[in-house]
Structure 1
Amino acid sequence: MDHFNFHDEKAESRLYVGNLDLRITEAALIKMFSPFGKIVSEDYLWHTCGPKRGEPRGYAFIQFSSKEEAIRAKEEMHGRMACGRPLVVRLASEKYPDGAVNHSKTSEGSRSLLSGGSGRQTSRSAKIAAIKNKLKAIDEEGHRTSKKQKQSDEHCISVGKPHQR
């Protein structure tokens, strides 16, 4: 029974962060969410194939050490403006709370899950390939981006007030 409770707690402390501007880096994302608690892990998703290979997908997952930290981050960050876009932040266990489904992302996500194995548990080779792609993208970004551009992007990442609905 304890195993299931641990799994539930882990699932409830994981956030989906969407509508990310492509200029927001992994480091910037961690910096934005770290004031709310201890970040245990972060999964910043990248395109692994096709014409956008190596580019960010525009969403990520952040695992906090507790459910309370995740809820506080969700409440504070959902709707906040980052690089001119309102962040979409929800518990990862909340699948499309408004009932809307983005079919283009769903079908793309399904393909990558199917190719990775059992859906929730990706194969070791898929994980290794993802890490290699992430390292390659980071290396390419370092070569492409000048210091001046990085400073300009840092300014964009400061998180503003929530977008009024």
Structure 2
Amino acid sequence: MDKDNNVFFDDKSESRLYVGNLDLRITEAALIKMFSPFGKIVFEDFLWHTCGPKRGEPRGYAFVEFRTKEEAKLAKEKMHGKLACGRPLVVRFARDKYLMEMEGKYGKSSGGGGSNKSNVSGPESGQTSRSAKIAAIKNKLKTMDEEGHDKKRQKQH
């Protein structure tokens, strides 16, 4: 039961930051330079448009993962709202950003009306909400995976 939670919320998710509202002039190197004073960056994912008219242009957000959650927390505190090329950066823990998006798409209720009995771990009221969020994330990933397979099939024909 707890292993399912760890699929999405492992130790890495505690030290991974979402960095949004990036000006298109900010490069990958500049992003690393901005965040490196707060700790050792172990992974960075600067996202680019891969198709369409904006192909090759930055998407305006990235992910930065630090060695420890303390380093990530410090970077979040110091960099959230800081101006970069005239725009305030949006810095959140990546997990929080993803959960906010899922809540927006699936609502804050226990998601979809299905009963999820895998969370009978105790009387904690927050557990149901967390399980609902995890279920929503799993559903979204499954949908994205299916859409990806459909697109690949269309390109092959």
Does the pair score TM above 0.5?
yes
1:15 to 14, 17, 26: 17
**Alignment partners' CA distance in 1, 2:41 and 2:21:** 20
TM-score normalised according to structure 2 size: 0.60
Q: Find the residue that maps to 1:62 and give its secondary structure.
A: strand
2:50 paired with 1:33: no
**Alignment partners' CA distance in 1, 2:74 and 2:47:** 23
What is the CA deviation profile of residues 28-74 of structure 1, one whole-angstrom value per residue up to 9, with x for unaligned ones? 00000000000001000000000000000000000100000000000
Structure 1 residues not aligned, in runs of 5+: 103-109, 118-165
Larger Rg: 2
Percentage of matched positions with identical amino acids: 69
Q: Residue 22 of structure 1 aligns to which amino acid in structure 2?
A: L
**Alignment partners' CA distance in 2, 1:101 and 1:19:** 19
How much is the aligned-residue C-alpha RMSD, in angstroms?
Answer: 3.1
Shift, 1:100, TM fit: 8.4
**Alignment partners' CA distance in 2, 1:60 and 1:87:** 11
Tell me the equivalent position of 1:91: 93
Q: Residue 92 of structure 2 aligns to which amino acid in structure 1?
A: R
Shift, 1:80, TM fit: 0.2
* Structure 2 counterparts to residues 99-114 of structure 1, below 5 A: 113-114=144-145
Large movers: runs of 4+ above 2 Å: 95-102, 113-117
1:82 to 77, 84, 90: 84
Tell me the equivalent position of 1:66: 68
**Alignment partners' CA distance in 1, 2:39 and 2:87:** 23
TM-score normalised according to structure 1 size: 0.57
- Cα separation, partners in 2 of 1:101 and 1:47, compared to 1, 3 Å: farther
- Cα separation, partners in 2 of 1:57 and 1:11, compared to 1, 3 Å: same
Tell me the equivalent position of 1:152: none
Structure 2 residues not aligned, in runs of 5+: 106-140, 150-157
Shift, 1:9, TM fit: 1.8
Tell me the equivalent position of 2:52: 50
